[in-house]
Structure 1
Amino acid sequence: MHTSASCSKKLAPKWQAARESSLRERRGGDRRRAPGAGPKQRLAFTDRLLVTLVHLRLGLPHAALAELYSVDRSTVSGAIREVRPLLAACGFAVSDRPGLRLRPLEDLFAYADTEGVRLRIDSTEVQVRRPRSGRPGRKAFVSGKKRQNTIKTTTFSDDQGRTLFSGVLRPGRMHDQTAVRAEGIAEQFHRHPRVRAEVDEGSRGLVNEFPAQVSSPPKKPNDDAPLSEHHAWREQRRRQSSKRICVEHRHAEFKQWRPLQQFTGRREIYAETHLAIAGLVPDGSARRTTCRKPSTELVLARPTAC
């Protein structure tokens, strides 16, 4: 687990500034004693960062981490609550661009437009806790695909499989095409007509609106279509899938982190948790300056006689 050097250098000052602001708000004014007075911190910032990273990676309970550091559980909970938003705000590292990190969706499309990057877009679902009975909007998180309470996220990667952005969170019941409208993805394609992207069948409406920019797997021919059309459809689908497999690998990389396998915390903090983890994973993948490009050509298993 590595954070980039630029982000790591900024975390400690930001944490100290947020802590001073919280203390000032609690006091209701400026401090009356010199810095350093009062109760000492049980955990230094480095330990707070390590506790947060271990919790995000392995999903260990706060009580177990408190035993390891010989502190109270509330100390660990407070440390994670303070450091997690700092990690979520770090953004996404970009290969060959030291110091550049993409944060909002607008930065992603501006970068893809400037650098000529062809995006790979795909969504994934993470199971979350079922809301209590009687609460409004209880059915909004029931996924029609998995038949579970889930939260969907959309991930953007380049052709080398490096994560450029991951977010656009929505309840599991919302369709991918609806999220494209609600989260402003379609608007970004209007603003950046040179951006190209590969999507799956769930975003076919995006293909219909932007046929020159977005491509998806071809439609399956009718059952009574000639056999040659079925063979051509399978080949086109295979080629398109091989271009999009890299973003599927990014989802698998995210789900190596325990909280994104099955999120058992409060749904209100899922967005912050996802951004914190998704921002850490690209720090390693951004170093993949030269990745092997998979071939889309068919290879015969054995020679054929003519």
Structure 2
Amino acid sequence: MVSRAVLAHRLLTGVSRRHLGCLVEVLAVSWQAGVEGRRHAARGGIRKRAAGTGARHQLVFVDRLVATLIHLRHDLPHSVLGLLFGVDRSTITRAIGEIRPLLAERGCAVPDRPGLRALPDVFAYAQAEGVELRLDATEIQVRRPQANRGGRRAFVSGKKKQNTMKATVIADWQGRTLWTDALRPGRMHDATAARNEGIAICFQHFPDVEVLLDDGYLGLSRDHRGQANTPPRKPRPGALPGRVEQGERDRHGHSSDRITVEHALADHKRWKQPTRWTHRRDRLPDTYRAIVGLVSDQTRFTRYHAPTP
């Protein structure tokens, strides 16, 4: 068994000691309620013995949380984590299966507000605070589905030429992640994935919110002019030199404003698991949302600067 102080170090977990303490404080109650609920369901009724009696957990809650963070950060095998914590591999597997959904349900952190979980919450926050949003999609390589199964081609990305799943992410002008969707098969177009999440309805209900997009969302820009903003089109061949230079400056300015969402995606890919997913595909959405929430939490421990008028 390795020292718990070493295992809880930021180099292994990806979070600071202060951040880890906040996670323990927030998630402990939910975890305890979930464990007791499963026990009640297995017994068919409420607890019949005094609180505090019965078998003890081989892995306490803090160790379960630390093991899950190490797994998300470095993608260590469960057997290796079991060796580090002095328990069996199945205990680590069960612990990660309990903690990962709790991390995914927390949403993204913003100052002085509860976690943002749904797309309408993000648009409501942006309209209330006057925040200009940035939206983009990223693809995560996944394992190829088995042969002779329906929908196998849905994961083949035309851009990456690989089997991928696509995540749509929204960030603000500081690069703080505000939201991510439930992930879609990689063959789906970026604009289609955003529409399936209900972005058109959000544009209708929040007319003051503007979103910066890249050239992959020209359809959204056409349908929602003044709200979905894509880069200006390039001047036609043979245009005057002054117009060409002005067009390049406009496109560069748009790219400079939108680059913060690319920085947010880079922060997610610093964690090992989103770089290449080698586990079951149905577990990737919870894993990615958990990582996005952890990255978003880091803004709570840094100074927030209000946007300049």
Q: TM-score over 0.5 for the alignment? A: yes
Question: Does the Cα contact within 8 Å between 2:168 and 2:194 map onto a contact in 1?
Answer: no
Does 2:233 align with 1:207? no
Q: Report SS of the residue matched to 2:143.
A: coil
Tell me the equivalent position of 1:289: 304
SS at match of 1:121: strand
Residues 37 and 5 of structure 1, relative CA distance in 2, 3 Å threshold: closer
Residues 75, 272 of structure 2: 8 Å contact kept: yes
**What displacement does 1:168 show?**
4.5
Q: Tell me by how many angstroms 1:230 deviates.
A: 2.4
2:63 pairs with 1:74: no
Match status 1:180 vs 2:194: yes
Say if 1:7 and 1:90, in contact at 8 Å, map to a contact too: no
Partner of 1:16: 32
The reply on whether 1:88 has 2:104 as its aligned counterpart is yes
- Residue 179 of structure 1 deviates from its aligned partner by 1.4
**Sequence identity of aligned pairs in percent?**
47
Paired AA for residue 94 in structure 2: G
- Offset, 1:132: 0.6
Deviation at 1:36, TM superposition (A): 3.3
Distance in 1 (alpha carbons) for counterparts of 2:152 and 2:216: 24
Q: 1:59-101 CA distances to partner (integer Å, 9 max, x unpaired)? A: 1110000000110000000000001101111111113x2x532
TM-score (norm 1): 0.90
Take 1:47 and 1:118, find their aligned partners in 2: how far apart are those partners? 39
Q: What residue in structure 1 maps to residue 162 of structure 2?
A: 148
Query: Does 2:102 match 1:56?
Result: no
Q: CA deviation at 1:224?
A: 3.1
Q: Distance in 2 between matches of 1:291 and 1:125?
A: 31
Paired residue for 1:120? 134
Cα deviation for residue 157 of structure 1 reads 1.2
Q: Which residue of 2 aligns with 1:297?
A: none
**Deviation (angstroms), 1:243:** 0.2
Match of residue 110, structure 1, among 115, 121, 124: 124
Q: Does the CA contact (< 8 Å) of 2:133 and 2:212 recur in 1?
A: yes
1:86-128 Cα offsets, whole Å, 9 max, x none, are 1111111113x2x532111111111011111110111111111
State the distance in 2 between where 1:181 and 1:248 align: 20
Q: Distance in 1 between matches of 2:66 and 2:23?
A: 15
Q: How does 1:220-239 map to 2 (within 5 A)?
A: 220-239=234-253
1:165 aligned residue:
179
CA contact (8 A) 1:124 1:154 kept: yes
- Counterpart of 2:3 in structure 1 is none
CA distance in structure 2 between the aligned counterparts of 1:253 and 1:228, rounded to whole angstroms = 38
Matches of 1:74 and 1:125 in 2, distance apart?
Answer: 30
Q: Higher mean Cα deviation, 245-254 or 154-163?
A: 154-163
Whole-angstrom CA distance in 2 between matches of 1:64 and 1:292: 45
Alignment root-mean-square deviation, CA: 1.8
Q: Quote the offset at 1:27 in angstroms.
A: 1.4
The separation in 1 between residues aligned to 2:69 and 2:161, in whole angstroms, is 31
Native 8 Å contact 1:163 1:285 kept in 2: no
